[in-house]
Structure 1
Amino acid sequence: MSQDLTTQWLTEIQSLKQQMIAIGRDRDAAWESAEKWRKLYNTEAEQRRTDTQLSQQAIASLKAELQKVQGLDTQALPDATAVTAIQQEIEQLQSVEELKTKLVTAIKERDRLLQALKTEQDNHAQTRDNLTTALGDAIDGWTRERVALEHDTQPTL
């Protein structure tokens, strides 16, 4: 009976050793899995930080470009409230897409104004040419009239 009890205990000890080995393997596998997830999380977090930084740089660059396109030169603008209003409008933009949309709108408005200015300049040049021609015609007519009057009023010899 003592032999059976010893065998039973040895079997139980062997079974517990096997369970401990299996638990150790499970623990190691869980640790490796946790380590893998930690690395993935850190990689993802670093990528997000990099993306955020790049987005902030892009926003700052686009804001600067928008100010340049809008001609936002604080020395050129006499009204300080206009500068403040423009800066507040720019600060309200929340994303790169909003900024891009605003920039496209500003560029379209600039192009429209440049086209209107060119049209006005062309019209001005045409008016100047028309007035110069009319003035030349008037001077020519006046000169002919004067010559004719001088011819008519000269005594015949």
Structure 2
Amino acid sequence: MTQELTSQWLAEIKALKQQIAELQTEHDAGWQSAEKWRKLYNTEAEQRRTDAQMAQQTIASLKAQIHQIQGIEAAQLDDPTATTAIQQEVEQLQSVEELKARLIAVMKERDRLLQALKTEQDNHSQTRKSLTTALGDAIDGLTKERGST
């Protein structure tokens, strides 16, 4: 009977050791899986932080370009109300896409104004040539009339 109890105890101990080994294996596998997910999470979080930082830098750069293009510097814009309004408009832009869209609109407006200025300069030049020609013709006419009298 002692032999039988000892065998049962040994069998029970062996079964428990087997369960402990299986549980340890499951524990290790779970730990490795958790570690893998932790690394993936940390990698993704770092990428998100990097993307956010780059977006902030891009926003700052685009805001600086908008400020430059709009001529917000005090030397270029004497009206403090207009300057404040422009600064508030720029500050309300929240995303890189909004900044890009606004920058594109400003650049189109600048190009349109440059074209209008060039057209005005060309018209001014043509008017000056026409007036110079008319003045020259008038002087020639006066000279001929004085010479004939």
TM-score bracket, normalised by the shorter chain, equals over 0.9
For structure 1, the residue ranges without an aligned partner over 5 or more in a row are 150-157
The answer as to 2:30 corresponding to 1:30 is yes
How far does residue 121 in structure 1 lie from its aligned partner after superposition? 0.3
Of 38-47 and 16-25, the range deviating more from structure 2: 38-47
Give me the TM-score of the superposition, normalised by structure 2: 0.96
SS in 2 for 1:9: helix
- Measured against aligned partners, the alpha-carbon deviations of 1:85-111 in whole angstroms (never above 9, x if no partner) come to 111111111111110110010000000
In structure 1, the partner of 2:62 is 62
Contact 2:63 2:99 in 1 (8 A): yes
In 1, the alpha carbon distance for the partners of 2:32 and 2:147 equals: 112
Counterpart of 1:125 in structure 2 is 125
Amino acid at match of 1:39: K
8 Å CA contact 2:62–2:99 kept in 1: the answer is yes
- Amino acid aligned to 1:92: Q
CA RMSD, 1 decimal: 1.0
- The amino acid across from 2:129 in the alignment is D
Matched AA of 1:119: T
Alignment-derived partner of residue 101 in structure 1: 101
Number of matched pairs: 149
Cα pair 2:77 2:83 within 8 Å, conserved: yes
| Residues 71, 77 of structure 2: 8 Å contact kept | no
Compare 101-110 and 65-74 and name the one that shifted more. Answer: 65-74
CA distance in 1, matches of 2:101, 2:141: 59
What is the Cα deviation at residue 37 of structure 1?
1.1
Cross-structure match for 2:53 = 53
Structure 2 matches for 1:137-148, cutoff 5 A?
A: 137-148=137-148
Q: For 2:72, what is the secondary structure of its paired residue?
A: coil
Partner of 1:20: 20
**C-alpha distance in structure 1 between counterparts of 2:139 and 2:47, whole Å:** 79
Cα shift readout 1:111-150 (whole Å, capped 9, x = no counterpart): 000000000000000000000000100110011111111x
Aligned-partner Cα distance in 2 for 1:71–1:83: 9
What residue number does 1:152 align with? none
Q: Distance in 1 between matches of 2:9 and 2:74?
A: 91
Cα deviation, 1:48-91, whole Å, max 9, x if unaligned, reads: 11110111001000110111122221232111111111111111
Matched letter for residue 24 of structure 1: Q
> What TM-score, normalized to structure 1?
0.91
